[in-house]
Structure 1
Amino acid sequence: MSAPQPAPANLLPGSGVFAGGAHHFPVRVYFEDTDAGGIVYHANYLRFMERARSDMLRLLGISQRGALDAGEGAYAVSSLSINYRAPARLDDELLVISRMTGVGGATVSIAQQVMRGETLLTDGAVTVAFLSAQGRPKRQPKDWVARFTSITTGELSPQ
C-alpha cells in the first residue's frame, strides 16, 4: 500500500511576500532558462516578471482564472519596456521586486526589478489593461483597485 500523497497546493512554491510597499518573488534559474552561452535567455526575464505579477495578484486574493471563468474579463499587457543590465546564470537565486506605479480605472502600471543579491540584473515597466470578454477595455473591479492601492499606502490586507 502506498503512502497518501500530499495535495499539490501544499507543494506549490510560495507566492512571495509584500515588504516595503513592494511584492518580492523568488526565482531560481534552471538549465531550461539558459541559452547556449550559459546565461538566462533574454525572453525568460519577461517570464519571471509575469510569474511575479500573477503571484502578486494571487497573494492579494485576486483570481484571474475566476474572473475569466465568470466572464468578467482579464488583463493584457498594453505597454512594456525592459533594460538588461547584467546576466543571470544557472542555479542563481533571483528576486523579482514589483512596485505599483499607477492604478487607473482600467489599467495597472508596475515597475519591476530582477535582482541577484544586491546586483540589479534587469528592470522594466509594464502596464496591463483590464479587458472584457470581447477584448475591449473595461473598468477593473473596484475591490481590486483598493487592493492594489493598499500595497503602496502600506495598508495591505491580503484576502
Structure 2
Amino acid sequence: MAQKSAKSLAVRNSARLKQTHLITLIVHLVFLLLAFTLRRSLKLTPYLALSAPALALEYWLESIARPRYDAQGNLRKAGEDLDAPGLTEFFWDMIYWTWINLVVVMIMGNRAWWAYLVVPAYAGYAAFTTARGVKGMFGGMAGAAGEGDTSAQAQSKRQQKMEARGGQQKVRYR
C-alpha cells in the first residue's frame, strides 16, 4: 500500500509516454513516406525546422516523466506529472499542434506550413494585450505623480462628492 499514488503516477506516465511516442512515430513516418513517394513536392526544410521543437519537447517530457526503477524492480522515482498545469500543459499543446499541422500539410500541401504560425501569433497577441492592460493599470499612477495634476483631477468621483459635503465622512452612532 506504500507509495500507491507514486505507483499509479508511474503507470499513467509510462502509458501516456508510450502512446505519445507511437503517435509521433506514425505521423512522422507517414509524412516522410508521402514526401519521398507520392507527394514529392512536400518540402523537408520546413518539416525539419518546425518539427524539431516538438521533438525536443517530447524528449524533455520523456526525461522528466519516465519512471525510474532500481535493480530489484522497485519504484525509485515516479517522474513528474504529465497532467500538470502551466508549462507542461503548454508543451503538450505544442506537440499536439505539430501533429495537427503535419496532417494538414500532408492533405493540403506546402502552403499549410503557414498554419504553424497561429500559435506564435496568438502568443504575441496575448502578450500585447496583457502589456497594454498593465500599462493602463500603471498609466494613471505615472501621470498623476509625474505631471503634478491638481487634486480635483486626480480624485475619484466619490472623493469629489465627499469633498463637496464637507470633506469628512459622517459617522452615525446608534
Q: TM-score, normalised by structure 2?
A: 0.24
Structure number having the greater strand percentage: 1
- Comparing both structures, which one devotes a greater share of its residues to helix? 2
Larger Rg: 2
Q: TM-score under structure 1 normalisation?
A: 0.25
